[in-house]
């Protein structure tokens, strides 16, 4: 087979998955429909996408964080909530004190206190970013290409046939062979439709708009998120960027052009002002249709990102969920291709990521429910506003939005199992995160025991054994991490070596 994997779609998820697969030494071809990677919809503030903790952590662990950060529009350290603008953001706006929102109701950064989270460690990845899609894709493409990934643009996947040992993919007038096909081709995924994945969910109630405009009388609009009796308008961040949520029963035909006149009429209605749009540079629309593939794998075809789950952008979860899919799938698919994956490893991809996608759909549905333009919804909004303004409420919402408590349902009793590993700092000043840069599993021995070192030698090649003293070991004696940085096993004292070895086999098969 010429390629191990073909990925349809060079969006952020397809490119990050290609990077992960390239890192694991598989041969990857990415087929992208669009000839030109640039688009005014992906550039600058129009392409703004919030990156949450798991995404930032993933980039940090793979050594991409510096470049992702430099390409971003703004960045926020958890230690001092409030976004600092980057020079690329081309705006002189003051730093934003923004910690997130729920249906346009702001979280008060000053009320957030995560100190009760036992395993949370402040480090370089304790941050959130406002990326531009274009900047992010550029960084991911660059890193993927360095690993030997091929990207062919102007190549829409139009068909494929699957046999017992591979897939033949047709793109444009050419066909390509691979062992596995992954659809990262967005919400209207051709791969998903051709493969016959069931895409279950709910129909939309609103049309949303994101636009870059010049406004004649900007003082008529309030800054930030504004929930109104007719929907919501968002003024900023970035000069001339507006967002709109119009409860029109999703009646707008999204194949129709958005004109200055139509956008102005909606902005006036939703904002209840007579504001005037002078110039419309670019605009796009979306809805709150919420659907998810019931499984992420059918035979040799897999889905990730928007191809697997769609929902409204409320709360900024789509990209983050997709990047999480890629981090989860990459090493499992690579292990399957390399032949060392345990029997059911690839199926744990759906088992772990489907619930995360289902949560994102529900998180956005809950926001739609309280934004509806009726008195009942508005009454619930008042209740939520009161709750968000309490310390517990602010913590609850930020924990959900930031993804810091994401936990997979993995076997084992320790409270860290299934969670992302804390970025422990070692006595020599180095940290845990970069130990995952090569994409292999990690057996971290925090109490330097001979038995663990022997076990580490036995599993060398599958799992990297590292003994290190942590400045604050959080009461941990040893940890087993999967290549995605999630904890598969942990011990506070006297590691149970039988349980550890069973867990290593469960994720890594047999010794190399
Ligand atoms: C206004 C707005 C704001 C948002 N804000 C946030 C946010 O703050 N945080 C967040 O996490 N998410 C946000 N999202 C969602 C986020 O943009 C998406 O979830 C994310 O882009 C999905 O990435 P993807 O790679 O799966 O799909 P896409 O970005 O859609 O990429 C798919 C790629 O596949 C290509 N393609 C399509 N069909 C084919 C084919 N047949 N063959 C080959 N290639 C094909 C496309 O050209 C595209 O390049 C927002 C979305 C919108 C609309």
Instruction: Output the residue whose Cα is nearest ligand 1's atom 3.
Output: 313
Taking the CA of residue 193 as centre, how many other CA atoms within 13 Å lie in the half-sphere pointing to its CB? 9
Strand-pair partners of 76: 128
Longest Cα pair distance anywhere in the chain, in angstroms?
Answer: 75
> What's the angle, vertex CA 132, arms to CA 247 and CA 26, rounded to 5?
110
Classify residue 120 as exposed, middle or buried by CB count within 10 Å of its CB (0-12, 13-18, 19+).
middle
Residue matched to tokens 């508005």: 378
Checking if the pLDDT of 93 tops 60, the result is: no
DSSP state of 190: H
Residue 413 contacts by C-beta under 8 Å, 6 or more apart in sequence?
none
DSSP state of 424: P
Point out the ligand 1 atom lying closest to the alpha carbon of residue 15.
25
Euclidean distance between CA atoms 279 and 361, whole angstroms: 34
pLDDT band at 229; cut points 50, 70, 90: confident
So where are the chain's domains?
Answer: 3-47+56-70+132-201+291-367, 207-287, 433-508
What's the gap in Å between 11 CA and the centre of ligand 1? Answer: 6
Q: What is the pLDDT of residues 290-324, one digit of tens each?
A: 999 999 999 999 999 999 999 999 888 999 999 99
Strand-pair partners of 212: 241, 282
Classify residue 123 as exposed, middle or buried by CB count within 10 Å of its CB (0-12, 13-18, 19+).
middle
Point out the ligand 1 atom lying closest to the alpha carbon of residue 171.
42
Point out the ligand 1 atom lying closest to the alpha carbon of residue 304.
26
Instruction: Output the residue whose Cα is nearest ligand 1's atom 9.
Output: 316
Point out the ligand 1 atom lying closest to the alpha carbon of residue 210.
1
Instruction: Output the residue whose Cα is nearest ligand 1's atom 20.
Output: 319
Euclidean distance between CA atoms 36 and 293, whole angstroms: 29
The lowest-confidence range among 142-156, 191-205, 328-342, 395-409 is 395-409
Cβ contact 88:71 at 8 Å: yes
Checking if the pLDDT of 107 tops 50, the result is: yes
User: What is the pLDDT, as a whole number, of residue 315?
Assistant: 80
CATH code, 433-508: 3.40.30.120
Question: Is 32 a pocket residue for ligand 1 (Cβ < 6 Å)?
Answer: yes
User: What is the pLDDT, as a whole number, of residue 343?
Assistant: 87
Cα–chain center distance at 375: 34
Strand-pair partners of 285: 209
Euclidean distance between CA atoms 97 and 108, whole angstroms: 8
CATH code, 207-287: 3.30.70.2450
Percentage, residues of the chain above pLDDT 90: 83
Cβ contact 269:209 at 8 Å: no
Strands 309-310 and 290-293, bridge-based pairing: antiparallel
Token readout for 88 is: 């690329």
Q: What is the pLDDT of residues 253-271, one digit of tens each?
A: 888 899 999 999 999 999 9
Euclidean distance between CA atoms 473 and 10, whole angstroms: 40
Token readout for 91 is: 């705006």
CA distances from 35 to 21, 39, 101 (A): 23, 11, 36
Checking if the pLDDT of 88 tops 90, the result is: no
Q: What is the pLDDT of residues 22-71, one digit of tens each?
A: 999 999 999 999 999 999 999 999 999 999 999 999 999 999 999 999 99
Question: Is 41 a pocket residue for ligand 1 (Cβ < 6 Å)?
Answer: no
- For domain 3-47+56-70+132-201+291-367, the CATH superfamily is FAD/NAD(P)-binding domain (3.50.50.60)
Q: For 110-167, where are the alpha helices, taking DSSP H only?
A: 133-146
Euclidean distance between CA atoms 60 and 121, whole angstroms: 14
User: What is the pLDDT, as a whole number, of residue 92?
Assistant: 46
Cβ contact 207:12 at 8 Å: no
What's the gap in Å between 140 CA and the centre of ligand 1? Answer: 14
Terminal-residue alpha carbon distance, the chain: 24
What's the gap in Å between 191 CA and the centre of ligand 1? Answer: 15
pLDDT band at 94; cut points 50, 70, 90: very low
User: What is the pLDDT, as a whole number, of residue 361?
Assistant: 97
Euclidean distance between CA atoms 423 and 465, whole angstroms: 17
What's the gap in Å between 392 CA and the centre of ligand 1? Answer: 33
Checking if the pLDDT of 14 tops 90, the result is: yes
Euclidean distance between CA atoms 361 and 290, whole angstroms: 6
Instruction: Output the residue whose Cα is nearest ligand 1's atom 49.
Output: 11
Question: Is 33 a pocket residue for ligand 1 (Cβ < 6 Å)?
Answer: yes
Taking the CA of residue 479 as centre, how many other CA atoms within 13 Å lie in the half-sphere pointing to its CB? 31
């Amino acid at each position: 087979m010429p390629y191990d994997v073909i990925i349809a779609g060079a969006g952020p998820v397809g490119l990050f998955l290609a990077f992960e697969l390239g890192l694991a030494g598989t041969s990857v071809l990415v087929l992208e429909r669009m000839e030109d990677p640039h688009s005014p919809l992906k550039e600058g503030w129009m392409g703004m996408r919030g990156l949450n903790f798991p995404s930032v952590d993933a980039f940090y662990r793979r050594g991409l964080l510096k470049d992702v950060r430099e390409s971003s529009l703004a960045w926020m350290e958890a230690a001092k909530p409030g976004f600092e603008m980057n020079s690329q953001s081309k705006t002189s706006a003051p730093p934003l004190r923004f910690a997130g929102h729920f249906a346009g109701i702001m979280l008060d950064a000053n009320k957030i206190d995560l100190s009760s989270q036992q395993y949370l460690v402040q480090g370089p990845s304790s941050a959130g970013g406002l990326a531009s899609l274009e900047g992010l894709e550029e960084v991911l493409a660059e890193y993927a290409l360095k690993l030997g990934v091929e990207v062919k643009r102007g190549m829409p996947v139009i068909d494929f046939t699957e046999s017992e040992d591979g897939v033949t993919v047709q793109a444009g007038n050419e066909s390509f062979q691979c062992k596995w096909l992954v659809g990262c081709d967005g919400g209207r995924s051709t791969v998903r439709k051709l493969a016959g994945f069931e895409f279950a969910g709910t129909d939309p109630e609103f049309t949303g708009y994101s636009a870059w405009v010049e406004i004649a009388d900007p003082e008529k609009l309030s800054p930030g998120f504004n929930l109104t009796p007719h929907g919501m308008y968002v003024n900023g961040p970035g000069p001339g960027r507006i967002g709109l949520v119009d409860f029109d029963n999703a009646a707008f035909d999204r194949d129709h052009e958005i004109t200055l006149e139509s956008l102005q009429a909606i902005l006036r209605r939703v904002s209840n002002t007579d504001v005037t749009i002078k110039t419309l540079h670019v605009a796009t629309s979306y809805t709150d249709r919420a659907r998810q593939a019931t499984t992420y794998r059918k035979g040799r075809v897999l889905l990730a990102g928007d191809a697997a789950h769609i929902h409204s952008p409320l709360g900024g979860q789509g990209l983050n969920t997709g990047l999480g899919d890629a981090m989860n799938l990459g090493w499992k698919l690579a292990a399957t291709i390399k032949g060392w994956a345990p029997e059911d490893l690839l199926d744990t991809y759906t088992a772990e990521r489907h619930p995360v996608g289902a949560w994102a759909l529900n998180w956005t549905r809950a926001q739609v429910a309280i934004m509806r333009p009726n008195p009942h919804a508005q009454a619930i909004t008042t209740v939520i506003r009161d709750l968000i303004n309490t310390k517990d409420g602010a913590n609850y919402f930020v924990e959900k939005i930031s993804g810091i408590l994401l936990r997979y349902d993995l076997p084992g009793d320790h409270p860290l199992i299934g969670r992302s590993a804390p970025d422990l700092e070692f006595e020599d000043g180095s940290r845990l995160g970069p130990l995952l840069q090569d994409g292999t599993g990690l057996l971290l021995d925090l109490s330097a025991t001979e038995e663990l070192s022997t076990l580490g030698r036995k599993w060398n090649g599958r799992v990297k054994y590292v003994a290190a003293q942590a400045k604050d070991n959080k009461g941990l004696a040893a940890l087993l991490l999967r290549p995605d940085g999630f904890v598969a096993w942990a011990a506070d004292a006297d590691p149970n070596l039988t349980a550890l070895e069973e867990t290593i086999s469960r994720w890594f098969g047999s010794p190399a």
